[in-house]
Amino acid sequence: MGEVRGCEIPEHLYYSIDNNVWVRDDGDDTVTVGMTSYATALIGDVVSCTLRLAGKEVKKNKSCATVETSNWVGPVKAPVDGEIIAVNDQLAITPELISQDPYGRGWLVKIQVSDWNSCKGELVTGPEETLGSFEARMEYDGFSGC
């Protein structure tokens, strides 16, 4: 597990740095998507989450979920094109899991990716690239730390 400015960043995942989401390759062109710990530190504790429904098509950089905190409401943008095949139903009952366990029980959606091989090439992965990219983003954002 890597760490940048106190934010945990698992190095084995893929990331859309601009959208502040992580992607786990589940095999068979299926991925799991969630918010990064950096994203949750920026927005605060999640109090509500609305997920796009399973069976819906989602486009890269378009909303796959909407999250709400006491200070912010906004979209979580999908890092890939595809069909949502599962949603984390637990978030309807316990949306704070997104903030408490962003890389585990706080996952958002599972997507059957249209073309995973080309999509993963546009995402950041690996310790050096991932941690360096987050450090640069945090510096640009003026973020002091988690």
Q: pLDDT tens across 43-56, in order?
A: 999 999 999 999 99
Is residue 103 within 8 Å of 97, Cβ to Cβ?
A: no
Q: For the whole model, what pTM was predicted?
A: 0.95
Tens-place pLDDT, residues 7-34: 999 999 999 999 999 999 999 999 999 9
- In one letter, which amino acid is 51? L
Q: How confident is the model at residue 71, as a pLDDT? A: 87
Domain 2-123, CATH number (from 1.10.540.10, 3.30.930.10, 2.60.40.1930, 2.40.50.100): 2.40.50.100
- Backbone φ and ψ for 106, nearest 5 degrees, come out as -95, 15
Domain boundaries along the sequence of the chain: 2-123
| pLDDT (average), residues 106-129 | 94
Question: What percent of the chain clears pLDDT 70, i.e. is strictly above it?
Answer: 100
